Amino acid sequence: MGGVTREIHLCIIRKDIKRQRAIIIRRVSAQPAARTRTRTQDRAMTLLSFPGGRAANPLSPVTVCLMATACAFAVSTLYYNQPLLPEMGASFGRSATDAGLIATLTQLGYAGGLFLFVPLGDRLDRKMLILALLMLNMASLLAVAVSTSFPMLAVASIAVGLTAVTAQVVIPAISGLAPPETRGRIVGALLSGLSAGLLFARTLSGFVGAHAGWRTMFLIAVGIDAALMAIIVLRLPRLSRTGSVSAYPALLASLWTLVREQPVLRAACITGFLMFAAFSALWGTLAALVARPPYGFGPDAAGAFGFAGIAGLVASPFIGRAVDRFGPRPILAAGGVAVLAAFLGVAGAEWHILPLLLAMVLLDIGNRAGLVSNQSRIYALSAEARSRLNTVFMTCYFLGGASGAGVAAWMVERFGWQGLAVTGAGFAVAALLSHAALGRRGQA
């Protein structure tokens, strides 16, 4: 009986082993099908997500690179005129103060474009909005190139700034297409393109202006915009609108609500205004100053000073890590001190170029520290209102740039390098004092 019982148990065990083996085989054989279904579903989702049925990744490395290039050249239209201001003014028999007005008006136009057009990216098809802005920017640049009077040049410069906000629409559009696991890297690449545009715009325009005239630079800019339109048409997927146009007035009204309800936003706007005013004070008058004795530099040399911006690019990762470690307030204060020190160097630029070079490096690093710190703290306020928060901040930021360039042009006309030093230092001191005062009141 014992032997029979053992045989029965062994038989049951063998059958159980065979059954388990069959289950395992069925599971293994089913896995490729499951993977096939997943790939099919992923493909279907891709086809649904991107009109036209393209299953290819819309954010390939080539596309990201092209979009970063588009951001670089789109923002460059703001700065092409800065090394060329003396030549532009001389074409119409205008003084250095009048020529500086062109840079001021361009910055004012950009602030207006940020306020009026960038919020539309939340309501309209961003691709069509980008193409419309580029087309209008082309017309504005062409108007600058063919200007026959100084008033025409002034109006065209406002239009250039007003329509130069393409990059501020491209970045959120690409960010929305990026998968979460690569979004930070892709947005970082676009911001690097933006910084590169700031760096090389003045160098390019100074070189072209020195060898082919300032009008040629703006004609080249028209061609660049045409190339950007082709890139956008071919590489940027169309995105469906996310809201109704009728809600646009309410959208603009909500910007003021944010200003009223967010003290940190108000503090960031004040310090951002003042620090970029100091930055633009130097860049809006540099070409006119270095054209005087003892330098006698032309637009190509004035534009080459743009390479000082490399310091800011190199410092950016360290600034970001410092903000993460110590918080935005101390880094913002350090940036204000760097800007103030820069204009102490500007005071010595009347006699030697080395203080000027050091001043430009400090100014770029200080301004970038202020920008990163301010954007870091406003982005932390509300994820849902992040685009509108940035619209308010950047509008104030470029209003500061326009104010700084305008005040500095008047001061430089009368007091030269020392007038610029006093103007920039005054803005820096005001930024530091407001930062300290608002901090004590618990508003920043």
- As a three-state string, the secondary structure of the chain is CHHHHHHHHHHHHHHHHHHHHHHHHHHHHHHHHHHHHHHHHHHHHHHHHCCCCCCCCCCCHHHHHHHHHHHHHHHHCCCCCHHHHHHHHHHCCCCHHHHHHHHHHHHHHHHHHHHHCHHHHHCCCHHHHHHHHHHHHHHHHHHHHCCCCHHHHHHHHHHHHHCCCHHHHHHHHHHHHCCHHHHHHHHHHHHHHHHHHHHHHHHHHHHHHHHHCHHHHHHHHHHHHHHHHHHHHHHCCCCCCCCCHHHHHHHHHHHHHHHHHCHHHHHHHHHHHHHHHHHHHHHHHHHHHHCCCCCCCCHHHHHHHHHHHHHHHHHHHHHHHHHHHHCHHHHHHHHHHHHHHHHHHHCCCCCCHHHHHHHHHHHHHHHHHHHHHHHHHHHCCCCCCHHHHHHHHHHHHHHHHHHHHHHHHHHHHHHHHHHHHHHHHHHHHHHHHHHHHHHHCCCC
Give CA–CA dist 337/38, Å, rounded.
56
Q: Examine the pLDDT at 54 and tell me if it is beyond 70.
A: no
Q: Examine the pLDDT at 42 and tell me if it is beyond 50.
A: no
pLDDT at 353 (0 to 100): 92
Q: Examine the pLDDT at 127 and tell me if it is beyond 70.
A: yes
And the tokens for 185?
């890297």
Q: Examine the pLDDT at 368 and tell me if it is beyond 60.
A: yes
Query: Considering only CA atoms, which of 188, 169, 186 is closest in space to residue 124?
Result: 169
Mean pLDDT of the chain: 83
Give CA–CA dist 210/214, Å, rounded.
8
And the tokens for 31?
């896995």
Spatial CB neighbours of 426, under 8 Å, sequence gap ≥ 6: none
pLDDT at 58 (0 to 100): 59
Quote the percentage of the chain above a pLDDT of 90: 49
Q: Measured between alpha carbons, how far is residue 321 from residues 44, 156, 324, 369, 378 in Å?
A: 40, 41, 5, 11, 17
Taken in order 391, 393, 394, 396, the sign of the CA dihedral is positive
Confidence category of residue 63, pLDDT binned at 50, 70, 90: confident
Q: Examine the pLDDT at 208 and tell me if it is beyond 90.
A: yes
Query: Across residues 315-334, what is the average pLDDT?
Result: 88
Query: Across residues 263-284, what is the average pLDDT?
Result: 95
pTM higher than the cut 0.85: no
Q: What is the CATH number of domain 57-243?
A: 1.20.1250.20
Tens of pLDDT, residues 146-202: 999 999 999 999 999 999 999 888 887 787 777 777 776 777 678 778 878 887 898
| Residue-level length of the chain | 444
Task: Please report, for the chain, the start and end positions of each structural domain, with discontinuous segments joined by +.
Answer: 57-243, 245-444
The burial of 46, by beta-carbon neighbours within 10 Å (0-12 exposed, 13-18 middle, 19 or more buried), is given as middle
CATH number among 1.20.1250.20, 1.10.10.10, 3.40.50.300, 3.40.1390.30, domain 245-444: 1.20.1250.20
C-alpha torsion angle, residues 36, 42, 48, 50 (rounded to 10): -130
Confidence category of residue 246, pLDDT binned at 50, 70, 90: low
pLDDT at 44 (0 to 100): 39
Which amino acid, residue 386? R
